[in-house]
Amino acid sequence: MTDTIVKPSTDSITQERRIVTAIPGPKSEALHRRRLAAVPAGVNSALPAYIESAHGAILRDVDGNQFIDMGAGIGVTTIGHTDDAVVAAVAEQVAKLTHAAFTISPYEGYVRVAELLAEHTPGTHAKKSVLQNSGAEAVENGVKIARKYTGRNGVAVLDHAYHGRTSLTMAMTFKAMPYALGFGPFPGDVYRAPNSYPYRDGLSGADAAKRTIAYLEKSVGASDLACLIVEPIQGEGGFQVPAEGFLPALQAWCTANGIVFIADEIQSGMARTGAYFASEHFGLVPDMVLSAKGIAGGLPLSAITARAEIMDASHPGGLGGTFGGNPVACAAAIAVFEQIESEGLLAKAAGIHSILAPALRDLQAKYDIIGDVRGIGAMNAIELVLPGTQEPNTAALASIVAYAAQHGVLFLTAGTYGNVLRFLPSLAISDELLREAIGVLGEAFAAL
Ligand SMILES: *Cc1c(COP(=O)(O)O)cnc(C)c1O
Pocket test for ligand 1, best of 74, 132, 133, 163 (most atoms within 8 A of CB): 163
On whether the 26-82+344-447 domain is CATH 3.90.1150.10, my answer is: yes
Quote the CA–CA distance of 16 and 394 in Å, as a whole number: 29
Helices (H), 343-430: 345-366, 394-406
Same fold, 26-82+344-447 and 88-342: no
7 burial via Cβ count (<10 Å: 0-12, 13-18, 19+): exposed
Instruction: With a cut of 90, say whether residue 12 has pLDDT above it.
Output: no
Query: Is the distance from CB of 356 to CB of 423 less than 8 angstroms?
Result: yes
DSSP state of 36: H
Quote the CA–CA distance of 419 and 66 in Å, as a whole number: 26
Pocket test for ligand 1, best of 162, 170, 262 (most atoms within 8 A of CB): 162
Asked whether 422 lines ligand 1 (CB < 6 A), one says no
Please give the number of the atom of ligand 1 that sits closest to the Cα of 292. Answer: 7
Asked whether 264 lines ligand 1 (CB < 6 A), one says yes
pLDDT recorded at residue 354: 98
User: Closest by alpha carbon to 331, among 112, 84, 41?
Assistant: 112
Tens digits of residue pLDDT in 267-320: 999 999 999 999 999 999 999 999 999 999 999 999 999 999 999 999 999 999
Instruction: With a cut of 60, say whether residue 9 has pLDDT above it.
Output: no
Asked whether 158 lines ligand 1 (CB < 6 A), one says no
Q: How many residues comprise the chain?
A: 448
Residue range 13-37: mean pLDDT, rounded: 97
Task: Reduce the DSSP state of residue 68 to 3 states and report it.
Answer: strand
User: 68-78: string of b/e by CB count within 10 Å (b at 16+)?
Assistant: bbbbbbbbbbb
Asked whether 351 lines ligand 1 (CB < 6 A), one says no
* Ligand 1 centroid to residue 270 C-alpha, Å: 13
Point out the least confidently predicted range of 4-13, 88-97, 251-260: 4-13
DSSP state of 305: E
Pocket test for ligand 1, best of 43, 239, 293 (most atoms within 8 A of CB): 293
CATH number, span 88-342 = 3.40.640.10
Percent of the chain with pLDDT over 70: 98
Give backbone dihedrals phi and psi of 372, rounded to 5 degrees, phi first: -150, 145
Instruction: With a cut of 50, say whether residue 100 has pLDDT above it.
Output: yes
Please give the number of the atom of ligand 1 that sits closest to the Cα of 267. Answer: 15
pLDDT recorded at residue 10: 55
Quote the CA–CA distance of 175 and 45 in Å, as a whole number: 19
pLDDT recorded at residue 61: 98
Query: Is the distance from CB of 82 to CB of 54 less than 8 angstroms?
Result: yes
Asked whether 136 lines ligand 1 (CB < 6 A), one says yes
Instruction: With a cut of 50, say whether residue 132 has pLDDT above it.
Output: yes
E strand or H helix at 116: helix 108-120
In the chain, how many H helices and how many E strands?
A: 14, 15
Residue range 194-222: mean pLDDT, rounded: 98
* Ligand 1 centroid to residue 162 C-alpha, Å: 7
Instruction: With a cut of 50, say whether residue 5 has pLDDT above it.
Output: no
* Ligand 1 centroid to residue 356 C-alpha, Å: 24
* Ligand 1 centroid to residue 265 C-alpha, Å: 9
pLDDT recorded at residue 11: 58
Percent of the chain with pLDDT over 90: 97
Instruction: With a cut of 70, say whether residue 8 has pLDDT above it.
Output: no
Please give the number of the atom of ligand 1 that sits closest to the Cα of 134. Answer: 7
Tens digits of residue pLDDT in 226-266: 999 999 999 999 999 999 999 999 999 999 999 999 999 99
Alpha carbon 37 to its chain centroid, in Å, reads: 30
Asked whether 272 lines ligand 1 (CB < 6 A), one says no
**Has this prediction a pTM greater than 0.95?**
yes
pLDDT recorded at residue 265: 98
Asked whether 289 lines ligand 1 (CB < 6 A), one says no
pLDDT recorded at residue 65: 98
* Ligand 1 centroid to residue 163 C-alpha, Å: 5
